[in-house]
Chain A
Amino acid sequence: SQQGEEDPQALSIQEGENATMNCSYKTSINNLQWYRQNSGRGLVHLILIRSNEREKHSGRLRVTLDTSKKSSSLLITASRAADTASYFCATGNNAGNMLTFGGGTRLMVKP
């Protein structure tokens, strides 16, 4: 079952602009993670935010988590053409066993 749902499904922006992707989920979580996938490649972990955290930063990435709304957002600031990829959110449950992934957002950054 798909726990996380990303929005939008696709996003096209110009280099230098900010990109915001959203993720909604359905059940209680232990943590929420964001991954990046270049075309035809495996996923690479970007950032993990725990259920008791509200905001986290890593370089040009900013993640927020609102557990009352069961939603998270990933902001990429000052985007670059190299940021073009698909971005997935994944939720870890309280049993700590596995992650459940959403359908992803395809981001295109035009030079």
Chain B
Amino acid sequence: DVKVTQSSRYLVKRTGEKVFLECVQDMDHENMFWYRQDPGLGLRLIYFSYDVKMKEKGDIPEGYSVSREKKERFSLILESASTNQTSMYLCASNPLRRRGGELFFGEGSRLTVL
């Protein structure tokens, strides 16, 4: 089975802190995605990557950056956390040959910024 692992299920940070959300997948998938989920707004794409060191902006990249140094790992970085970044963050992956196809999700990281 495909496994997408997000390092932290729950985090509490203070405004202005730098936050790292880590995601690792074990199926050699080329594509990796970071979504943000808020009540009533569904999932919104922050960034995605289709290869090592490659990244593309999604719908809401402001206030976020990403890093993909290794194929299996995709990190989401909040350079200076703000309260409006309190949310559930979901990482997902799929193989390059199935772009636009089924996504495999991690369990999510619920971030609270105080």
Contacts and interface: CB of A to CB of B under 8 A. Distances in A.
A96 B100 contact: yes
Interface stretch (A12-20, A53-61, A70-78, A101-109): A101-109
A58 to B, nearest CB: 13
Interface stretch (B11-19, B62-70, B71-79, B102-110): B102-110
Contacts of B48: 97-98
Interface residues of A, number: 28
A42 B100 contact: no
Nearest to B59: A1
A97 B48 CA distance: 10
A43 interface: yes
Nearest to A92: B100
B45 interface: yes
A88 interface: yes
B43 A40 contact: no
B101 A92 contact: yes
Interface of B: 4, 33, 35, 40-45, 48, 58-59, 90, 92, 99-108, 110
Given A43-B105, A88-B43, A99-B103, 18 more contacts: A2-B42, A4-B42, A30-B100, A31-B101, A42-B90, A42-B107, A43-B43, A44-B105, A45-B104, A97-B99, A98-B45, A98-B99, A98-B100, A100-B45, A101-B35, A102-B42, A103-B40, A103-B41
Interface of A: 1-2, 4, 30-31, 33, 35, 40-45, 48, 88, 90, 92-93, 95-104
A98 B105 contact: no
B90 to A, nearest CB: 6
Contacts of A45: 102-104
B107 A41 contact: yes
B41 A98 contact: no
B110 A40 contact: yes
A6 to B, nearest CB: 8
